[in-house]
Homo-oligomer: A and B are copies of this chain.
Amino acid sequence: MKYKFIKDGGIATPQGFKVGVAKSGIKYQDRYDLAFIVSQSSAVAAGVFTTNKFCAAPVLVSKKHLMECQEFRGFVINSGCANACTGEEGYSDALKMTEEAAKLVGCSSEELLVASTGVIGMQLPMDRIIKGIKVAGSDMSNDKGHLAAQAIMTTDTVSKEVAVEIEIDKKKILLGAMAKGSGMIHPNMATMLGFVTTDVAISKECLQKALVMANKDSFNMLTVDGDTSTNDTLLVIANGQAGNTFIEDENSEDFKNFAKTLKEVCITLTKMIAHDGEGATKFLEVRVINSPSEATAKKAARSIVGSNLVKTAIFGKDANWGRVVCALGYSGAEFEPNLVDIYLGELLVAQKGRGLNFDEDLAMKVLEKDEVVITVDLNLGDYKGTAWGCDLTYDYVSINAEYRS
């Protein structure tokens, strides 16, 4: 199965999707902060959500709609306010967002999913939100994908979009996606916000299954700061306009090809979020190989990529592999300390659990790059796991010492 990236593609790329945006003034003036994504025909949808017990009102509403409804038309999303810890008022506001949007689409409110991102504990300014929904809904087109990706940003410095094309059942299938990340990023079901559109014809059950599989190896392997947000949401909507034979068997080749592509789309967004982690100067990829199980490999990779001491060492270009070992040691992963090899890039720095007299100049060459790969070989099996993150810098502290105000 081959897929190809579509240059300048995004959430509006697949057939039959339209996008509207608005500058509602939720937190900032003159900045896009509301996006409205609609399929022109009925579609199926799937979602994965935060495991944080304080999950936000839009998460509760989207979960309910996914549970109760079989057909969907789109997403309505705002940045600038998370609508989390907002009580019953917050819940009815999230519902209201779907109701207002549904009027413009001409569907029932249950056919729309909703997501919010921003400061926790503030109520949504509903007058501005409703105006924004009306503005976004009154001028929808398929060339506003880039604006939608901008509208969902908070402290992100760049927007994150991807679109790919594959062939399934001799039909061209398109997937478009966008995400926002930056801080409070340690997904434990999904990232802060991620959205995928596709024109594939697929059952709701198969779509949900493909999304869970994709999420497990992408957003769930990402950390910026270890803080699992109240609003993590990853949604996908599939309208079938590609005209392929309906995918409803999860053992079919078509399903596997679609699921693999969806995973690649999610991994691409995950890496974009890691690159743009709050204050990040470096992208960090930790690969744990030859593990006795996939669970151990993932647990170990996540622990290392999340260690503040590993992250500051990467920022400081310090080949301090002892911190990698330390984070592996407290990860809870099963391994044998005396078998562990550690590589910075291609450079072996520790072997069988103890340090080597490696060439510091070669290590510096690895650490000077914008992308650093650490490989941990457990020498105990055939499984592997990869996690993504970024360094911990002065700017992370600066951004987060000032974020709310």
Which residues on A are within 8 Å of B, measured CB to CB?
51-55, 82, 84-87, 90, 119-122, 183-184, 186, 188, 225-230, 306-309, 312-313, 315-316, 318-323, 325-330, 335, 337-338, 350, 352-355, 392-394, 396-398, 400-405
Contact A400–B316 (Cβ < 8 Å): yes
Residue contacts A-B, CB under 8 angstroms, 7 given = A52-B326, A52-B329, A84-B322, A119-B322, A183-B309, A227-B307, A394-B397
Q: Which residue of B lies closest to A230 (CB)?
A: B326
A297 to chain B, nearest CB (A): 15
- Is the pair B309, A225 in contact by a Cβ cutoff of 8 Å? yes
Residues of B within 8 A of A122 (CB): 355
Contact A320 B404, CB 8 Å, known A393-B397, A397-B315, A398-B394:
yes
The residue in chain B whose Cβ has the minimal distance to the Cβ of A90 is B354
Cβ contact within 8 Å between B184 and A326? yes
Q: Is A312 within 8 A of B397, CB to CB?
A: yes
Q: Cβ of A82: which chain B residues have Cβ within 8 Å of it?
A: 322
Kindly identify which residue among B54, B313, B316, B400 contacts A312, using a CB–CB cutoff of 8 Å.
B400
A55 touching B396, Cβ below 8 Å = no
- Neighbouring B residues of A397 by C-beta, 8 Å: 312, 315, 392-394, 396-397
**Identity of the chain B residue whose Cβ is nearest the Cβ of A308 in the assembled complex:** B225
Say how far A192's CB is from chain B's closest CB, in angstroms: 12
Determine if A403 and B55 form an interchain contact, defined as CB atoms under 8 angstroms apart: no
Q: Give the contacting residue for A322; candidates B55, B120, B354, B405; CB below 8 A.
A: B120
Picked from B228, B309, B312, B400, the residue with its CB within 8 Å of the CB of A326 is B228
Contact of A403 among B306, B320, B401 (CB under 8 A): B320
Q: Are A86 and B313 in contact, CB atoms less than 8 angstroms apart?
A: no
Output the least CB separation between A228 and chain B (Å). 4
Q: In whole Å, how far is A148's beta carbon from the nearest beta carbon of chain B?
A: 25
Docked-complex contact B85 and A354, CB < 8 angstroms: yes
Verify A315–B401 contact, CB threshold 8 A: yes
Q: Can you name the residue of chain B whose Cβ is closest to the Cβ of A330?
A: B228
List B contacts of A84 (CB < 8 A).
322, 325-326
Given A119-B322, A329-B54, A402-B316: A85 in contact with B309 (beta carbons within 8 A): no
Please name the 5 residue pairs, one residue from A and one from B, whose CB atoms are nearest each other, closest first.
A120-B322, A316-B401, A54-B329, A312-B400, A121-B355
Residues of the B chain whose Cβ atoms lie less than 8 Å from the Cβ of A226: 226, 306-308
Q: Does A405 contact B308, Cβ atoms closer than 8 Å?
A: no
B312 near A401: Cβ-Cβ < 8 Å: yes
Minimal Cβ-Cβ distance residue in B for A225: B308
Residue pair A227, B327 in contact (C-beta under 8 Å): yes
Q: Residue A54 contacts which of B54, B328, B396 (CB distance < 8 angstroms)?
A: B328
* Residues in B whose Cβ lies below 8 Å from that of A309: 183-184, 225, 227, 400
Check A318 against B355 for contact (C-beta < 8 Å).
no
